[in-house]
Structure 1
Amino acid sequence: MSSSTHTAQRRPSLRRRLLLFLLVPMLVILTTDAVITYFVALTYANRVHDEDLADDARTLATMLQTRSLKGTISPQARFLLEFDPDGHNYFAIRSQQQGLIAGSRILPPVASSPQPGQAPRLYDTHLKHTALRAATIAIADPKHNHGILDITVAQTFQGRRQVARQILLLNISLQVALSSVLLLLVWLGVRFGLRVINPLTRRLSRREHDLSPIEDDDVPVELLPLTHTIDALFARLRDIMALHERFIADAAHQLRTPLAGLRLQVERAMHYADDPRAHKALEHIQQLTGRTARTSVQLLALTRAEARPMQMAPVDLRTLLPDLAGQRVPEAIEAEIDFGFETTHDVAWVNGDAIALQEALDNLIDNALRYTPRKGTVTLTLSAESDALCLQIDDSGPGVDADVLPRLGERFFRAPDNRRSGTGLGLAIVRHIVMKHQGTLCFERSLLGGLSVRICLPRLPVVPRAAEAGHERDGRRS
């Protein structure tokens, strides 16, 4: 298992913590409630059975006072006295002077006999290893000269415990049902309660270089300290990026002026240089100076592409591309390059930053014209797909090896066999701008023999009304 998997497993989860904080106490409360319920049910069962046991003793005493006792109890009466579906009952009739008269001999006598007329005495006793609950009542028997009779009725605790267990099971069933509903409500509450974070998450995920403060109108109060901390971080990042952009702009500006002066002085020196070696050295200096000036300009352009937020608006590529290509026609004619442009007749609107798109396309055209030899060909094609507009530029230059194609677009990267002057920043600028427009950029071998660069941008499904009205006004003016 990888270290990232271990990290993901150890990572704390707010949902898991909330569920644990809610479920564990609920389980403890449910267990405690079950124990308390059992003892309460057992106490209730003891009280009810004690009352029944005392009533049985009174009933037997009343029966003996109204009927004659000849020393035996009928089998039917014995069955009724000893029958218990949950255990076993015992009874004993003892004379305080003569001993056992009827009933079970193994039932221990009461330790302290009650007096006639008193309420039945309830107490715990044992029969061998069996615990019993007994009730004893005393009556006088002047008719048969038995003296005072102790009437004892006893029963095991099985019936009481059985009643307590039944009450507990009934209570647990209800508690489990209610707890299940409560757990479901807790789970749903945690799940749907955490969805309040989703709008904030979506807003932050849609941001790229937007470091403006977070709107806290729909942010929960508990998350305000976090959003305020993020806002403070954004503020520090804005300051750092502004300082970075300002440094690049100042450096580029400060470099352009001395480089322009240096080029001028080199041109003057070349005019007066008679030595061929000095003339060649000055030419080399001039090339290096031009490359340095171009690098400073493209560094500034790359910084703007990375730091400047895009000003998105509907852009018509059928209007933007011909104007941009037309500006490069004189350069192509001078280099004797066949520069062609093919467009689509479909609607070609995209949501983008016109300045940034123009900068990206200008870099692509410049790159194609720079690496295409004289008498070569450069073709700019605009095509429409179902949900995208694709711009492709092909040239008949030397091209790039297949193993180098994936690295195109990296900063300062140039093909190893590239002999032409360049900075390695033009395609990096194009890549950043395309990424900000949610588009795709791919490089491949061109059918013309050189490099083919293809950009696909998301297409607007309908023509914006304002742009459509603008085209109608332009048509009326013409």
Structure 2
Amino acid sequence: MLLLMASAAITYLGALAYSNRIHDRNLVDSAMALAQLLNQLPAGEKLTAQARFLLEYDPYGRNYFSIRSMRHGLTTGSDELQPPAHSPLPDRPAVLYDTVLLDRKIRVASLVLPNRYEPSDLLTVSVAETLEDRRRRAREILLLTIPTQTALILAVFALVWFGVNYGLRELQPLTERLARREHDLAPITDADVPEEVQPLTRTIDGLFGRLHSMLNLQERFIADAAHQLRTPLAGLRVHADRLQRLQSAEETADAIGQIQRLVERASRSTSQLLSLTRAQSTQVHDLADQTINLSSLIPELVGLRVHEAIAAGIDLGYESDAAAAWIHGSPTQLQELLDNLIDNGLRYAGRGSMVTVRLSQAMGEVLLSVEDNGPGVPSAYLSQLGERFFRVPGGGGDGSGLGLAIAQRIAEYHGAALRYHSASQGGLIVELRFPASPPGREHEPG
């Protein structure tokens, strides 16, 4: 119905414009015919009553005409019909204009011609008609086209109805395949998928892929949690049973100490598992959207770990030759990355050793490294650093083997290359190379 109404309105406006054009042409022809008639009348003779009747006759209203002399005024016709405001030049085409006569809008055609009986005089010939006949013709055209338009709209409606139903039937094989699935997240785009809906199915395939990655991440977290918490929980049960049998205060204190260490280990494993899962999730991409000056951020983060280094008997230091080192990244994730690298040094370097954090910039890269002078890592195991739960055989310490894996994932999401080297005087160097960014607004640590 809305389409029919819009079509009817457009048709009526078009028909009215066409009717106006035809009537304007006829009005100009009438004005020219009246001018020719004046040139043929003998001197002093006026229009006959029959001619006046024909000029004024209109079956749906009334027409008007006037002949005005520049010297003598109105010679014949309607006195109410005024000449145009700007009189046309003699022997030029007629001008058309709208005016109001007796509270009715009319259309007028006027032209000027010399008075052949008085060469110094000019005659203005005007012929006018009401607008009723124009509108009537437009309505007639509209009424003729409405049935055709209605039939066409109904035909299009039926065609669309059939096309939609037929198109949906083409999706039936895909619908049946999806209905038979339970836990299968494989792509659904196949040979039976119509080309028109393949953009939709490819989008669904992308969603399935992301969902599959999330489920794999969840399953891996559950497996990792079971792997990491099995030993502490078993130890807790053993020492709890032991407490029930012990009677001496020394043995009781030792069992409680063992339980405390196991609880700390379980707590640390749980925290690192959560950190690893967070680093593996795609949400890191959403966080890495700030321009950060590492020359301001890294000293602040190193300073937060000084008290732990003092308690562990380790000299923790910071060196930098970069006045400003800008990268794109997440301050929270970078803090977690640096904490894990420093923690790795504090745990395995040993008392009396040094752990040094260095920052520099060269050739479009920002270099961040953490070096210790501890026992180091045999070269045969350097390639395995960063794997989950990997711990160097005989390395000691009570780590979970997740710290470097967390650092590896965070570095990947920041577009940084992470490498491991043996220090020249023993120990381990963990090196990160970030792509440098243009300077931005200074980030306030914390």
| TM-score normalised per structure 1 | 0.45
